[in-house]
Structure 1
Amino acid sequence: MALAWITTLTLLLLAFVNGTKQENDWSPCAVVHPSSTLVALGSTVTASCLIRDDCPIAKGQAIRVVWKLDQRSLAEDNESDRGKPAAAVKGGWNSTVVIPSFTDTRAVLTCSILHASLSQIVGGVEIRAGFPPDVIPNLRCLTNLTKPETLLCQWDPGQETHLPTNYSLHTDIRDLSENNTYMLPPDIHHFRIPRAGFVLFSNIEIHVKAVNALGQATSKHLLLEPMSSAKFDPPNVLKFQAEPNRYGCLKLSWSLSEQQKWVKTKVSLDVRLKTANSKQWSEELVYGPLRTNQKPLELCNLLHGTEHHVKIRVRYKQSQWSDWSNNQTGVTLERAPNGRLDSWLKVSGDHRQKHFGVDMFWKISKQFRANGKNLSYIVSVRKPRGERLCVTQERHCSFRLPKGVWKVLLTARNAAGSSQPTEVPVLKRSAMPAVSEVRVIPNGERSLRVQWTVMDSFSVTGYVVEWRPLWERNASFILFDNIDRNESNTMISEGIEPYKPYEISVYPRYKNGIGFPRSVTAYSRQKAPSTAPYLSVQNRGPFRIELSWNEIPLLQRNGIVESYQIFYWNEWENVKVVNADVEKRSVVLDGLNSSSYYTAFVMVRTGGGSLNGSEVTLKTEPIDPLDIMLILISSSFGLPLFIVILVVVCYSKRHRTCFWPKIPDPANSSIKSWTTMDVVQDSPPTEAQEPSLVNLCHLSLMDVYQKTLENSDDPWFRSRDTSDLGESICGSPQAFNPGYTGSHEDSVPYATVVFDSPFPSQSSSQSHPYLRSESTQPLLEEEPKELSSPKEYQNLPLHRGQVFFRECLDEGLDDGELCTLWDEFPMLRALAMNDVEIES
């Protein structure tokens, strides 16, 4: 709105500046003529701009015109950027523009001349758009009978017109032929007709007319009786009480408000009732229209001895109901209770004793009527002597029952009398089977649906569903419901609250007793616990810490605890999680570092959420030197004992090769069983001989005197390594195969000398062939395959008279022969040099 006025003012100022101004007269440089300055929204608008030929900005050049609507260019062709050429007319130039659909409710259309790449506004006009008034809907009138009386009429505005719209209210009183018109300010949609403008009991016709620049509209005509459209004030309840000898009835006295008491007829009354313990009002009881107002009403068929609440409202004929009155309370007369009570009797203790304990519960059934306010209950036995076991105003009783009593009597009593007794059988707990499964499903925040599996036994007469709050130990809080034998579910809502635990049990009832119960714990709604347990250290060591925590208080759990999780970490390790047993409420953290600090907390989870406990700092113990000493001592005794046992086992006859391969003993080898015939198979044939055993002698060179070896000029003994000497003497593959490169410093050299007979019995003329050992054990280097067959010197045919234990020139032997043998058998030479004796 402000922008439009500023634009218009700018337009006028420019027009004044550019126009030709004379001393007493002036005229604008250009004039814009629209088809209409007030149009319907969405209609077509045409405008022309007439530019005078004496306009200074238009002299001496071709004129191009630019049209704008609130700073938006109206382009009609491709030359819009350069403006639209104006047509020359008499006295100037003319340019026209067409707006196909005018969608603005208010806009300024301007005409500008393009000059030096700039547009100069030379004329403009404001155009407004809107809608004509629509048919006025929902005309209604309401009479106010409170001083001062008025008739208030209201209507809805209908479609927005975007234009100033004026309303007028027209009335026509039929009986008086009186017409009135009431003019209203713009955009006002209600009017209060004064008391002088209508008659309460005469019909009046009312309608409303709306007018704006684009048209007018009229509402439907409303014909009414002002009294029938009146809304009364809330009435007053004077009395609500019982009459003598009128059982189940209450009398209601009422009146209209002070300003409306003059109304005496055709007033209807609406009544609502409810008992004191009920949360719902009963259905309305409509009385009227009454011929005589303010006459007391009698409300009957009410419960005896029961407190009732009442409230009322009124109206005239079919007018609008008044608001409800205030509540009033009344109590019906009492009568003796009647009907049966629902009961549930539980027997405990040893049945073999003279007396056993009984817990008995009862509740009001649908057939029972208390008929009184102060109700008490009596539990008794008919025999002996009608003894009373319990008198209470509660709905629970515990007592001792003599053995042999099979039923008790339950009686309700008030000030007016007692009910007929209800017989309750005494069914004892027996070894009857329980129901197989019980499920509890939440049904809202204050109710639970209990389901169980129906039993097929024909002896089942029904079921008892019992529930109690777990945080209350008093038996008076136990509630129950008796269920038919064919039913398998029930809805319980009495005493149920969200976030609190309840124990629900289902008992099968048999003909001769009560079966075992099946119990579950349930919540109607769960959420995260209100508090989390605090971790405490039970035991600690260098590498482990045992944590425990107390159980969360029952009313702070807010649900069934499903899990405990322990989170712990230190400065250089990631967070670790341990799941704890819900029942044990303890956990051991293993694999910790000694003398280290850890941070831990417990997270407890229920079916409705989880809660983290406070963080605690833990420290492991340092390693105790005494513990280290005990470990070392146990190791020093335990490890040697283990080694001894292992050695004993391994050196038994069956386990000799536990740690190293078995090395054959040449003295115990099969060579001892060789025959002379085997040894001398290459000797010249002699007289027939029978095979005989070969006598062997074991020789060892491991104890060769070191000094002798060092001083010896023989190349066999120049090496200080006795193992090499042994290899040379014992027929090592290196001694006889120059290409052999194997070396075993740990090998044990040995050899065997073969004799024809035991040494003491041999003569000097007997021959003793030398046999090289053919052992293939790992301690000796394995020979190449080409050396596996005996060489010529290994089994030589010896002649009698050859002796190897003397010097080469003794006994006049041939030097060459004897020394040749001596060189070929260096081991024998070593034996001679070291005076080694051969023992058979």
Structure 2
Amino acid sequence: MFSGWNWVAHCLYLLLNICSLEVSGGLVQSCGHIIPESPVLALGSNFTALCILNESCLDFGNIYANQIIWKIKNKVVPKEQYREINRTVSSVTFNDTSSLATPLTCNILADGQIEQNIYGITVTIGLPPEKPKNLSCIVHQVSKLTYPMTCTWNPGRHTFLDTHFRLKYRWPQENFPDCIPKDVNNSCTIADVQFFVNLEVWVEAANALGKAESDPLVIDPIEIVKPLSPHNLSVNSGILPTVLKLSWENRISIAVMKLKFNIRYRIIGDTNWMQVPPEDTASPRTSFSVQGLRPYTEYVFSIRCMKEDGVGYWSDWSEEKTGVTTEDKPSKGPAIWRIIDASRSPASWTVHLMWKALEPFEASGVILYYEVTVRAKSSLSSPPEKYNVNTTNLTLKLPNGTYEVTVIAHNRVGASPPSVLLIPASNTKAPVKNVRTLPKDGKLWVGWTAPNSYILKYVIEWCLVSNSSDCTIEWQNEPGNIQGTYLKGDIKPFKCYLITVYPLYADGQGSGQSVKAYLQQDRPSKGPTVQTKKVGKAEAVLTWNHLTVDEQNGFIRSYTIFYKTIDGNETAVTVDPSKTEYTLSSLTSDTLYTVRMMAYTDEGGRSGPDFTFTTQKFGKGEIEAIVVPVCLAFLLIVLLGVLFCFNKRDLIKKHIWPIVPDPSKSNIAQWSPQVPAKHNFSSKDQMYPEGSFTDVSVVEIEADDKKSFSEQDLKPFDLLKKEKSTSEGHSSGIGGSSCMSSPRQSVSDSDEGETTQNTSSTVQYSTVVLNGYRDQTPVQVFSRSESTQPLLDSEERSEDHAGGSDSTTQRQQYFKQNGGQDETNTDRPCFERTKQITPANEGDLVGFAQLQISGQSSQLLGLGLEKNTQEAALLGVLQTSTEGQTVRPETVEGNPLSVDEMPKSYLPQTERQGGYMPQ
């Protein structure tokens, strides 16, 4: 164990020995080294490395071999692979170098557990070269005198090392410099070779792990020549329309090599080459005539050559040249078909004849026109009709029958064989069965089952089914001995085709059998648009339209309806593709539903737009079941109310429509002063024959004045004074008296400051009947009354015409006799009180006192009393009636009156007397 100073000294010494550099010959040396220095190892082989320590390190650092640690890329090698040979040498062994990596280092663990690298080496692992294989050489002709040779070989496996190849060759008695590849390791070119001498050729491969040589190849270079192709090729037409003559030049001397040739040709536009038989061109030549060609057809030719005996290589194909054969008669007649339109008239046909243009090899030239012959089979004696057309169709209108149609094509050389088509009156022959289609190899195959009879040929007719255009018919003929073929037209994917197969017999034809087909299907372009036809409480009738043919892209196999509520799960229903309507049931009432629809083909489905609808709150008949009973109950209640009102009509009339007397039925409406005979006022007809009475009727009472009668006992007389001035010159509405005021708006008294009420709508009338005074004939006079009832037109007219002069005269006479007044004084009152009122008349006075005076009472009774005795008499009467005392007797002109001479007081009017009660 070192002391502290000894340990420091030891470390310093170790660092000095390890880190110090001893420069000897310009090399850096360390405490040890590894052998081998930079080995190249074969993959998978064994390997042992030695780490040798220098003695100097042993003396000063106390470093020994047992302290060495081996590492591979800083990964410690297991100590089981270590071996201490002596105190300065340690070895490590690897049984398989596949796991060996670089660098490989040896390290020591010095005092203080410090790891120090001693030395490291780089290890290279690879494989030795394999024997080159498949050595082959070819001599390319560059010109007539230059023939370089190029050899190629297979270099073998990858060695992971730098491997060098050399091409060696020699004559039997002479060696040549090696050919070293420049760009690649498997090919090398020798600039020039000699013919007719055997040449030995081989390949040598070498790297750090070894060398390898290929098997030698001994050849004569003339046997591996690839000559240049013939050039200046030309094509000329021959005498015959099926022959073309070729000419060319060879670029190798016949003295060097004799050649044989290959000639190939094809029709322009075709990709398939045809070849002249090799035996026809197996000898040296510079021209050749190709036979068996199609007339009036353009061909492309090319040619190549090689050594005559077949040893060596074929040259490249020459440049291509074209040529056209001459015209000939058409080799066959055009294929013909027809379409019959018999819908317009059952007695005649519209026949559309159509034929296909001949292919160029069939036409053998330019077709100038077509000769069409139509012969009726029913009348063989009639001459046939002939048409010359330069198109491929002809439309004829023929009577219904059987016809034979012949078409012949003409070019500049001649005519084609005739093409014959029999058009029978009806398709009575057996049709084909089981027409089917199958997409195959990008084409549409059509198959059928043939009838048992002999078939001359089949006509396959098809057209593209589309909404945007009419179905343009295409067709093709097929031999009668087949039962299936591919359609030869341009068949497009995702399109629907209607295919019909007709069997043609020698004496007729069978009806066509049709089928629809797709070359390729796809999902529909869009989904169906669904709508509601009828919505109920728990069901909804959905309707939609079929997708158009252009939208289907295939056969619709099924529909699926998806519906759900806003917060519910989606429900799916599958519907047959032939349907356009479906009823959803078991729905919830008054609920919003979202529905969509998908259409499916064999390739998948596509969904249409969403549609929403709301179910009804009530089902069919539920509203009627509620409304009808309610209406019936309402009608019953109304009926009961009407019956109740009818039974209680008197009570209802009393409260709503009180009884209003009809003025037209009163006595005053039936009496006129001008016709006294009409109203008999004798003592026999009077209710009270003993004395005079007055009927007073006040129809409308204004309740504006709230004061008692006793407080206003002097008012009436003031009003009566006003009446004299306000009603002067106006005739009464009834009697026409000058003392009566017409129903007009009263004026206000400026002295008293009182405003009278509007009486423009009030008719004031009353009847005053007086007993004869002092044996004089009584005259019936009228007094005003305030009533809202309008007078009859007859009353007003009679009053206007009759109440003027006569009644005024009578009243003046009466007042003159009883009151002693001047009858010419129109300002006098109409009557005066002349008799003393006795207690016997108190009942009458009470009735008079009940007369209420309104704001318009200034017009009451139409009386104008003088300012003396008349006012005093009336005042006495009112005081007696209101206070319940006997009125003191009054005198007229200073003479007292007896009780017997006193006239009766005013009595209340009754209906029986012709008056009106207050209303």
TM, length-normalised to structure 1: 0.61
2-structure distance, mates of 1:22, 1:351: 123
Match of residue 65 from structure 1: 68
Cα deviations across residues 137-175 of structure 1 (Å, max 9, x unaligned)?
23344445458975443333212222222222223367x
Cα deviations across residues 221-270 of structure 1 (Å, max 9, x unaligned)?
34456566555666656543423x322111234457xxx58889644443
TM, length-normalised to structure 2: 0.56
CA 1:620–1:21: 2 relative to 1, 3 Å? closer
2-structure distance, mates of 1:525, 1:229: 53
CA 1:212–1:510: 2 relative to 1, 3 Å? closer
Match of residue 166 from structure 2: 168
| Match status 1:299 vs 2:290 | yes
Match of residue 848 from structure 2: none
Structure 2, unpaired ranges of 5+ = 1-13, 634-919
| Match status 1:372 vs 2:365 | yes
Cα displacement (A) at 1:478: 2.6
Among candidates 421, 434, 438, match of residue 424 of structure 1: 421
Match of residue 693 from structure 1: none
2-structure distance, mates of 1:432, 1:635: 74
2-structure distance, mates of 1:235, 1:594: 93
Letter in 2 for 1:67: W
Match of residue 18 from structure 2: 18
CA 1:290–1:488: 2 relative to 1, 3 Å? closer
Cα displacement (A) at 1:210: 1.6
CA 1:385–1:301: 2 relative to 1, 3 Å? same
2-structure distance, mates of 1:156, 1:618: 76
2-structure distance, mates of 1:336, 1:23: 106
3-state DSSP of counterpart to 1:103: helix
Q: Which has the larger displacement, 319-328 or 159-168? A: 319-328
Cα deviations across residues 189-211 of structure 1 (Å, max 9, x unaligned)?
333433xx434776654332222
Match of residue 762 from structure 1: none
1:407-806 equivalence runs, <5 A: 407-431=404-428, 434-452=431-449, 454-455=450-451, 464-471=459-466, 473=470, 476-484=473-481, 488-509=483-504, 513-529=508-524, 531-533=525-527, 535=529, 537=531, 539=533, 541=535, 549=544, 551-587=546-582, 598-613=593-608, 615-620=609-614, 630=624, 632-633=626-627
3-state DSSP of counterpart to 1:424: strand
CA 1:520–1:227: 2 relative to 1, 3 Å? same
3-state DSSP of counterpart to 1:18: helix
Match of residue 800 from structure 2: none
Match of residue 208 from structure 1: 203
Letter in 2 for 1:164: D
Cα displacement (A) at 1:418: 0.6
Q: Does the 8 Å contact 1:356/1:403 carry over to 2?
A: yes
Among candidates 28, 51, 54, match of residue 53 of structure 2: 51
Q: Which has the larger displacement, 436-445 or 16-25? A: 16-25
3-state DSSP of counterpart to 1:336: coil
1-structure distance, mates of 2:623, 2:471: 60
3-state DSSP of counterpart to 1:481: strand
Cα deviations across residues 315-359 of structure 1 (Å, max 9, x unaligned)?
566554455455443221111123466555565538996643445
2-structure distance, mates of 1:126, 1:582: 79
Q: Does the 8 Å contact 2:563/2:594 carry over to 1?
A: yes
Q: Does the 8 Å contact 1:144/1:151 carry over to 2?
A: yes
| Match status 1:329 vs 2:329 | no
1-structure distance, mates of 2:390, 2:15: 104
Q: Does the 8 Å contact 1:237/1:312 carry over to 2?
A: no
3-state DSSP of counterpart to 1:418: coil
Q: Which has the larger displacement, 262-271 or 553-562? A: 262-271
Match of residue 42 from structure 1: 44
Cα deviations across residues 648-678 of structure 1 (Å, max 9, x unaligned)?
xxxxxxxxxxxxxxxxxxxxxxxxxxxxxxx
Cα displacement (A) at 1:532: 0.5
Match of residue 213 from structure 2: 218
3-state DSSP of counterpart to 2:557: strand
Among candidates 127, 134, 137, match of residue 138 of structure 1: 134
Cα deviations across residues 114-141 of structure 1 (Å, max 9, x unaligned)?
4566654333433333332211123344
Match of residue 901 from structure 2: none
1-structure distance, mates of 2:241, 2:430: 50
| Match status 1:249 vs 2:243 | yes
CA 1:310–1:555: 2 relative to 1, 3 Å? farther
> Would you say how many aligned residue pairs link Structure 1 and Structure 2?
602
Cα displacement (A) at 1:185: 6.5
Q: Does the 8 Å contact 2:367/2:409 carry over to 1?
A: no
Cα deviations across residues 271-295 of structure 1 (Å, max 9, x unaligned)?
3322346443324654646534xx3
Q: Does the 8 Å contact 1:566/1:578 carry over to 2?
A: yes
1-structure distance, mates of 2:333, 2:16: 105
Match of residue 31 from structure 1: 33
Give the number of the structure whose alpha-carbon radius of gyration is greater.
Answer: 2
Q: Percent identity?
A: 25
Cα displacement (A) at 1:380: 0.9
3-state DSSP of counterpart to 1:46: strand
Cα displacement (A) at 1:561: 1.9
Q: Does the 8 Å contact 2:532/2:613 carry over to 1?
A: no
Q: Does the 8 Å contact 1:603/1:610 carry over to 2?
A: yes
1-structure distance, mates of 2:248, 2:15: 80
CA 1:500–1:593: 2 relative to 1, 3 Å? same
Cα displacement (A) at 1:72: 4.4
Q: Which has the larger displacement, 620-629 or 52-61? A: 620-629
Letter in 1 for 2:244: L
Among candidates 173, 178, 181, match of residue 178 of structure 2: 181
Cα deviations across residues 724-760 of structure 1 (Å, max 9, x unaligned)?
xxxxxxxxxxxxxxxxxxxxxxxxxxxxxxxxxxxxx
3-state DSSP of counterpart to 1:55: helix
Structure 1, unpaired ranges of 5+ = 1-13, 640-840
